[in-house]
Amino acid sequence: MIIAFILSALSAGIALSAPLIIQHVVDVTIPAKDNMKLIGWSALMLATIVISVILATIRSRIMTRVGQDIIFEIRTDLFKHLQQLPFQYYDDRPQGKILIRVVNYVNSVSDVLSNGIINFILEIMNLLFIAAFMFAVNAKLSFVILAGLPVFAAVMLLLKTKQRRAWQAVSNKSSNLNAYTQESISGIRVTQIFTREKHNESIFTRLSTNYRKEWMRTMYLNFLIPFSVDNLATIVTTSIYLVGLLMMGPEEATFGVILAMSSYAARFWQPILNLSNIYNSFINAVAYLERIFETLDEPVTVSDIPKAKELPPIQGRVTFDDVTFAYEPGHNILENLTMDVKAGESIALVGPTGAGKTTVVNLISRFYNVSSGNILIDGHDISEMKLKSLRSQMGIMLQDSFIFSGTILDNIRYGKLDATEEEIIAAAKTVCADEFIREFENGYKTEVNERGSKLSQGQRQLISFARTLLANPRILILDEATSSIDAQTERLLQKGLNELLKGRTSFIIAHRLSTVKNCDRIMYVSDKGIAESGSHDELMAQRGRYYKLHSAQKMEA
């Protein structure tokens, strides 16, 4: 940027010598009829133009590269920060509003950061240079040119606050429109099932109309500044001719001086016009930058504490010690939960929807911080361990089976990048995914779209299962892992799972109680804690909540 600044200063200085050459040629060379000097001055003027253009071009290339480097770093920092933010952040915000900050808003500030900062400095410097040249030629006419500045300053002060608020409104309307568009595309199947196309179109039209109105209002305010500058420049230039020709004599203001000053007047107001445009861009960029830095300033609440330790290879004992947790302060999901799970034990979590089953396994993985109490693995407090060392020893199969765009092979390898193809195929065979994968024309090299739109829900779940099992975890968490698999495939899968669960601590969330009967312990989650705990036979003998739930499912079957 310093190099670009120096080149711009040289370019501006050389360019500003042109009116002086014109003045000398008109007042001295032409009246003397010295053709050789006229050719020489013409060649010099051509040289100033060429050198000025060359320097400006080099500066422009440098600043484009510098600006894009800045944008690259902002976008990288933003994406890196989003990767570290906890689940809570994404629970509270539409994906579209997050996406627009990473892509649209960063792109919108690109030009300002590429050229705006240095151009602002250069235009200020240009004004000083031009003022110096003007006063060197004629002081009285210079004051005529400067007389328009107070008017311009008044216009800027009047519009400043209105412009900033207008661009903030545009930013909000754009964010709303983008969020609704993203949501509509994600839910297009539901929209078509319920024939909501017309209604959704009317909502989109309303949001789009609101955005257009705010944009047009903002553009109206923006164009008021160049409109004011153009008119002031015209008035000032006219005033130079009136004052120079009518109020000043030819001895004080020759025709060459008037031509030079009119040229400097045009040049003087051009940087002011450029500054007003840069100012508009800054006002726009500030509205977007506020949103970008608002995201960057979002605290990473789940992170490694200072001097966090590496979690050593674990056996899999999990202890909850008087744990209380709330997503929102004052609304506890779990209260004073205490339990001890031995290494290698299989635990089933059952109970009504919303009781906190998924919350329990999310806390083991430390996707959220507990409100009070401690969670220990092999006696190590997980809040004091490095997240990577914790989660790398866990296999987590969430209820929502997410498939990334790419090949099936890459999706299974996602959690273990150094896995061989043989290991991937072995994992797929264990979960009964190998057979249907080989039926595709390209087998494991088959390309799938984002969210696995080419696959059935059951196939997506089996691929996600293989991805989880490939990591060879010591603690395995299955959250409704078999909910989208047919009964025949589930029976085949269960054989592989029984082998896989041996020697591993496992937490299995399931609404179909038939799938968890063989677990070492079944815990009925309710009333912000563990209401009942025991084997299937023990709980059935108690004839409590688990018994009633099991009996109800048996009657429905």
| This prediction's pTM | 0.63
212 has a pLDDT exceeding 80: yes
Write the DSSP assignment of 52-82 as a string of letters. Answer: HHHHHHHHHHHHHHHHHHHHHHHHHHHHHHH
H/E element, 554: helix 545-556
Structure confidence by residue, pLDDT tens digits, 288-321: 788 888 888 888 888 888 889 999 999 999 999 9
Report the pLDDT value the prediction gives residue 363, as an integer from 0 to 100. Answer: 92
Structure confidence by residue, pLDDT tens digits, 374-410: 999 999 999 999 998 998 888 887 766 778 888 889 8
Name the CATH topology of 318-556.
Answer: Rossmann fold (3.40.50)
Structure confidence by residue, pLDDT tens digits, 92-134: 777 777 777 777 778 777 767 766 777 787 788 778 888 887 8
Q: Which CATH class is domain 2-296?
A: mainly alpha
Instruction: Report the pLDDT averaged over residues 247-257.
Output: 71
Determine how many CB atoms are found less than 10 A away from the CB of residue 302. 18
Q: Which of 462, 458, 470, 372 is nearest to 421 (CA)?
A: 470
Give the integer Cα–Cα distance in Å for 556 and 515.
Answer: 16
3-class secondary-structure state, position 323: strand
Give the integer Cα–Cα distance in Å for 64 and 54.
Answer: 15
Q: Where are the domains of the chain?
A: 2-296, 318-556
Give the integer Cα–Cα distance in Å for 381 and 318.
Answer: 10
Structure-block tokens of residue 524: 């009925």
| Residues contacting residue 326 through CB under 8 Å, at least 6 positions apart | 332, 333, 371
Strands 447-448 and 521-526: what pairing? Answer: unpaired
Structure-block tokens of residue 180: 């609704």
Instruction: With beta carbons less than 8 A apart as the criterion, state whether 302 and 358 touch.
Output: no
The DSSP 8-state label assigned to residue 525 in this structure reads: E
Report the pLDDT value the prediction gives residue 128, as an integer from 0 to 100. Answer: 83
Report the pLDDT value the prediction gives residue 487, as an integer from 0 to 100. Answer: 67
Residue at 254: amino acid letter: T
Instruction: Report the pLDDT averaged over residues 437-450.
Output: 85
| Residues contacting residue 157 through CB under 8 Å, at least 6 positions apart | none
Q: Is 247 exposed, middle or buried (0-12, 13-18, 19+ CB in 10 A)?
A: exposed
Structure-block tokens of residue 297: 């300033």
Alpha-carbon Rg of the chain, whole angstroms? 36
Strands 318-328 and 380-381: what pairing? Answer: unpaired
Q: Which of 405, 516, 401 is nearest to 467 (CA)?
A: 401
Residue showing tokens 């892992």:
481
Topology match between the domains 2-296 and 318-556: no
441 has a pLDDT exceeding 70: yes
Structure confidence by residue, pLDDT tens digits, 159-204: 777 877 887 788 788 878 888 887 787 777 778 777 788 888 899 9
Structure confidence by residue, pLDDT tens digits, 519-541: 889 999 998 899 999 999 899 99
